[in-house]
Amino acid sequence: MSDEKIDFSPLDPSGDPRRWEALIARTTERAMAARARAPASLTFELARLSWPLTTAAALVAAVALVLASLSPRTGGALSVDSVSEWANTGEVPRTVDVVALTGEVP
């Protein structure tokens, strides 16, 4: 066995910077081409879309919450009781009663 150190510098691909950059560019180009040819799986597509979909769902929920808090409260237990009573007795409600419960003119 020899104690002499072996010079591996000729095997170093980064010794020639232009050749090294060309090698990296070709490898990257081939990898991107292979990735573009491969069909995307359903799992990959769902994972890719999860952040935008989660953000959109949160935005829709926030808008719905704001709109619900801004809309006037109508009905409630009074409207259920009143409508049930009208239905059971066959009574035709007055327009004023309908407007008071629904907030809309029939």
Same-domain pairing of 35 and 50: no
Same-domain pairing of 61 and 78: no
Residue 5 lies in a domain: no
Same-domain pairing of 15 and 27: yes
Residue 1 lies in a domain: no
Same-domain pairing of 80 and 98: yes
**For the range 48-51, what are the long-range contacts, defined as Cβ-Cβ under 8 Å and sequence gap of 24 or more?**
none
Answer whether 80's CB lies under 8 Å from 51's CB: no
What does the pLDDT look like over 15-72, one tens digit per residue?
Answer: 888 988 999 999 999 999 988 887 778 888 888 888 888 999 999 999 998 888 887 6
Range of the domain at 32: 10-39
Number of domains in the chain: 3
Same-domain pairing of 66 and 77: no
- pTM beyond 0.85: no
